[in-house]
Structure 1
Amino acid sequence: MRRVPFLAGNWKMHKGPKETKEYIVELFEAAAKDTSLKGVLKENKVELGIFPPFVSLETAGREIASADISLSLGAQNMHWEDSGAFTGEIAGKMLMEVGCKYVILGHSERRHIFGESDETIGKKMNKALEIGLKPVLCVGETLEERDEGITEFVVKRQLEEALRGIREHENIKDNIVIAYEPVWAIGTGRKASDEDAQGVCAYIRKFIEESFGSTAAEGIRILYGGSVKPDNAKGLMEQKDIDGALIGGASLDVGTFLGIIRNTIEALQ
């Protein structure tokens, strides 16, 4: 079974409302001029998503709503409570009000720079699913952990804690996306080889099967994230257990993002 690839652009701390509007207009105009690309997107053979900063989400939601090409909107983080005295935080229901369908949880920068624990990420996962916001759960090892040969141990621990309390009846194959992000490949220009990325994504799918059953494992989308660019996208997307990419810096430029999209489409043929 071929799952619909998901190409998600994580903009991190880039692009305010003005730049966000300009980007989306440029993206839609470029897609409209390319009839084959427009057809693929309108037929939902590939799902595109962008994850702007919080201040740009409302602008992005308005621009997306007025277009005839589908573009999913997501946020980069959320709190596990619906409201409260949490200065600087944002609730999932607020994100949904401005049109968010997805939220990134457990990104390595949240784990390693801001100190988010597996337990914290698990609480956010449960809240996102409770309110109907689809989490993109990030897992992955550091270079030191990779060199120690404990990649699978680290990924398993992250998955177990993030998915604790979640059961198969919650339809995880449609409501959760998992992104494998080797920490050592994020923003460094390095990437895991196609075979290495496939190996860990296959391990993740095996974990899902053992924990939630074969239907969940066959249907859940597993992305690769870590210095994805047009020149390496095709090889990654040809791998059996890689269903798209969580793209950082390369998603900030429309032309580069389109290059990844086109090469993904080529890999599907």
Structure 2
Amino acid sequence: MALQEEFAKQGIWLFRYRGVLPVIILVIGALLFLQTELHPETFFLKKTPYELYYEMFCLVVSLIGLFIRICVIGFVPKNTSGRTVEKQVADSLNTTGMYSLVRHPLYLGNYFMWLGLAMLPGNFWFLVAFTFLYWIYYERIMFSEEKFLREKFGETYLVWSEKIPAFVPDFKNFKKPNLSFSWKKVVRKEITGIFLLFLIFSVFDYLGVITKNETKPNPFLVYSLIILTIAIIVIKIIKKNTDLLKQENR
């Protein structure tokens, strides 16, 4: 099998199971975080006044990734840039908004979301390994997606892709989105991801408490998690019993 076909085949398989990598990163990161908590001398910020600021900085990095995702999801039409796992779907080609800056903005957002978590253990080599593994993993997926889009949209895709970088944004190419921002779609699609992000940060924070390196949980994370839990319940009730969050073609 030619290398291009092999990459495409691997990308299709990885696309279906792309949720596996975050779990692997999370498990390894949690183990390293526990090691740092049990041996605080391995990370120079442990037991210093700056430890809390570092934790908040990690959260900000993850929120930057979340913001990128919201900027994508909020402006794209239905059946594009989704969370499908069985097959790739694209009823139309997105070329404006975030897609005028970078060809794979969702994966860029995902990288920053998981980078913040990978930073928590304070292990430089884990960050390097995470970045390398993320690139190798998603490179195959991006290759497969681009093959699919090239075959479906032909010359239109080739012209667009020639001037738009794959992963590092080029801001001089920005074009205003064709559609208005849909907060309804963001709420439907991203609220669970927001909740999980704060839940994971809260779990890591609590690991610091039970290992006696922190006196109490971070109140910001605790209150945020409570608010998001209530929001999740309310949104599920609304989605089940009303059409308030539904929107045509979004």
| Structure number with higher relative contact order (C-alpha < 8 Å, ≥ 6 residues apart) | 2
Higher Rg of the two aligned structures: 2
Verify same fold: TM over 0.5.
Answer: no
Measured against the shorter chain, the TM-score band is: under 0.3
More strand by share: 1
| Superposition TM-score, scaled by structure 1 size | 0.24
